[in-house]
């Protein structure tokens, strides 16, 4: 079920998607409780903006999108939505701007493997979170390692932004019908429908008000981030599939050299 949701300011939207990996200690400033409290209170101030700048994985993409599209604020709602969910704004960034950003961020860290990273850009990758997960994130290159492929698949699936429908709400958790990643030894695909349990609140207070059975939502790791419109689902699905196709064209070497501490 698609229900309209009030438009947030971009910083609050950022909180909703950045908190789950921050709470895991995967990225961003060490005080994840601060981010949680900002999201629960719905307050945006200079302190929240400074916290957002501490996300080394996401912030440079926000700067890239905003600069390339002439939007002054990296935390403008349009920029944040484009990065986490996807929107036509991404098509205005341009391959040269994306390539220059990758050069500045990753050339020194990846050495001779930088050309593999750039293959994802040249194949049509754009600065959406799914690009970072499938073209940059180091776990993709571990799928062919029999000892680590299971862990790699779990991490890739949790890190990407997923969509699903709430089928039950139990306290601070909800059961969501969604689709997970599947790996057949050759390529990554989306599986058939399955269910998972995700958090939507802490001690009764979350980011999205009045969640209900039937709502279509986005998920990041084990957390419900936002209620999605039909258009947002279309964009999220489209950019996920786009970057999966690119990843599958070079899964044997993509994403093997980028440090784990620059991820979301």
| Token pair for 179 | 């689709």
Average pLDDT, integer, range 36-48: 95
Backbone angles phi, psi at 175, to 5 degrees: -95, 125
pTM for the structure as a whole? 0.93
Q: Where are the alpha helices (DSSP H) in the chain?
A: 10-23, 32-41, 46-53, 59-69, 77-84, 95-110, 114-122, 129-131, 149-159, 230-248
Listed range (107-121, 129-143, 198-212, 221-235) with the worst mean pLDDT: 107-121
Bridge partner residues of 193 (DSSP) = 179
Count the Cβ atoms, other than its own, within 10 Å of residue 123: 15
C-alpha 240/C-alpha 63 separation (Å) is 21
Tell me what the mean pLDDT of segment 72-98 comes to. 98
* Helix, strand, coil percentages, rounded to 5, for the chain: 50, 15, 35
Query: Where is pLDDT greater, at 130 or 1?
Result: 130
- % residues pLDDT > 70 (the chain): 92
pLDDT for res 202: 95
CA distances (Å), origin 140, targets 51, 129, 194: 28, 14, 22
- Structure letter (DSSP) for residue 9: P
Phi-psi region of 7 (alpha: psi -120 to 50; beta: other; left: phi over 0): beta
């Amino acid at each position: 079920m698609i229900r309209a949701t009030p438009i947030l300011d971009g910083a609050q939207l950022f909180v909703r998607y950045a908190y789950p990996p921050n709470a895991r200690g995967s990225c961003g400033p060490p005080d994840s409780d601060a981010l949680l409290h900002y999201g629960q209170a719905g307050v945006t101030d200079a302190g929240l903006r400074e916290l957002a700048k501490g996300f080394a994985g996401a912030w440079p993409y926000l700067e890239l999108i905003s600069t390339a599209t002439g939007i002054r604020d990296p935390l403008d709602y349009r920029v944040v939505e484009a990065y986490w969910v996807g929107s036509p704004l991404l098509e205005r960034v341009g391959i040269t701007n994306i390539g220059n950003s990758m050069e500045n961020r990753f050339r020194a860290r990846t050495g001779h493997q930088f050309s593999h990273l750039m293959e994802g850009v040249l194949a049509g990758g754009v600065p959406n979170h799914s690009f970072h997960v499938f073209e940059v994130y180091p776990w993709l290159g571990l799928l062919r390692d029999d000892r680590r492929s299971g862990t790699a698949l779990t991490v890739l699936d949790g890190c990407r932004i997923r969509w699903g429908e709430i089928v039950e709400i139990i306290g601070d958790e909800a059961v969501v019908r969604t689709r997970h990643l599947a790996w057949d030894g050759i390529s990554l695909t989306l599986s058939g429908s399955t269910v998972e349990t995700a958090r939507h609140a802490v001690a009764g207070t979350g980011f999205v008000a009045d969640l209900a059975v039937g709502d279509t939502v986005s998920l990041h790791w084990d957390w419900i981030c936002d209620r999605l419109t039909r258009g947002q689902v279309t964009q999220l699905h489209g950019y996920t599939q786009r970057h999966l196709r690119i990843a599958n064209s070079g899964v044997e070497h993509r994403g093997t050299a980028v440090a784990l501490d620059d991820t979301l």
